[in-house]
Structure 1
Amino acid sequence: MPDREIYRAYNFILDLGEGPVGYFTEVTGLSVEVEAIDYREGGGGPAVRKLAGRAKYGNITLKWGLSESRDLWDWMQTAASGSVERRHISIILTRPGGQEQARWNLTDAWPTAWRGAEFDALSNASAIETLTLVCEGIERA
């Protein structure tokens, strides 16, 4: 069996279709689940068969350090104003030198929630914002 490199989970970027945006501290929720539908055939014995149903994609949460970039804020505000802008975007895992290792393409993604940074005058932590995205498809490229 050939050696297979295990990827490190700490180097990743978000591409909104126009190039990379920001530096992120965390991406969670990349998931897909296919609904299992119980089906019992007439006269088919005591076993319940399983049919594949609809695919459901998880909500993706992004966390990043607050910066002067307004790209994600403006995208969220467009959705909040009632004009959802769906985009084909990518989450890209990179090597420490910046070369791409893996990519997840999200189809028809749009922001559904934003949470601002917590401010504390007694803390020296980075100001972290959170954005939740929904999508209608995930493809590993």
Structure 2
Amino acid sequence: MTLLTRHNFRVELVLSGLGGDEALVQGTTENPKGAFSEVAGLEIAIEPVTFREGGYHAGPRQLPGKTTTVPLVLKRGLSLDPGFWHWIRRCTQGGYPLPYISGSVFVRGPNPAEEDAAEFRFVNGFASKVKTADLNAGDARDVPIEELHIVHEGWWRQDA
């Protein structure tokens, strides 16, 4: 069974090892997964550092400074994977080891049999907000996850 028939993005959460939450993947051969229709938050802001250099009269010099990111927001999704929901539960319990996860957002091409169009990786993330959809037994099209916010320590586009 595939979760990707009605979703444009495949999200695979990969155990980073930095949080020490090895229990997340015990008893499973695959990494926890979910599928989502929208992904937002692929944004990086680099604060410029301005300084004046002696002997350089054209104006102030600019250097890249502190980098900040915003949370990844995954919208209208689904995960039937128990490891995924175990990770969400670990994020809410506040215990040690920390529930840090590194993962990837794969952009699917128009043909599911083809390779993914792009891969964006994030590091040391945890769930900061989970919003589920209203559940309705009469409508099988309900989407169980409306929004999942993942705060993280950085992201990049993975080269093919």
* Corresponding position of 1:103: 119
* TM-score, normalised relative to structure 1: 0.74
The offset of 1:21, in angstroms, is 1.6
Distance in 2 between the 1:140 and 1:67 partners?
24
CA 1:21–1:67: 2 relative to 1, 3 Å: closer
Task: Find the counterpart in structure 2 of residue 62 from structure 1.
Answer: 74
C-alpha distance in 2 between matches for 1:89 and 1:137 = 11
Residues paired across the two proteins, number:
132
Q: Does the 8 Å CA contact 1:112/1:134 hold for their aligned counterparts?
A: yes
- Alignment deviations for residues 29-77 of structure 1 (CA, whole Å, 9 cap, x no partner): 1111111122234575483332211111221011234554444332122
Which residues of 2 match residues 1-141 of structure 1 at below 5 A?
A: 11-17=8-14, 18-19=30-31, 21-41=33-53, 44-45=56-57, 47-66=59-78, 68-83=80-95, 84-95=98-109, 96-98=111-113, 99-119=115-135, 126-127=142-143, 128-141=145-158
More strand by share: 1
Cα-Cα RMSD: 2.9
Aligned 8 A contact 2:41 2:70 in 1:
yes
AA partner of residue 112 (structure 1): S
Aligned pair in 2 of structure 1 residues 85, 121: CA closer, same or farther (>3 Å)?
closer
TM-score normalised to structure 2 length: 0.67
Identity %: 29
Q: Secondary structure at the match of 1:75?
A: helix
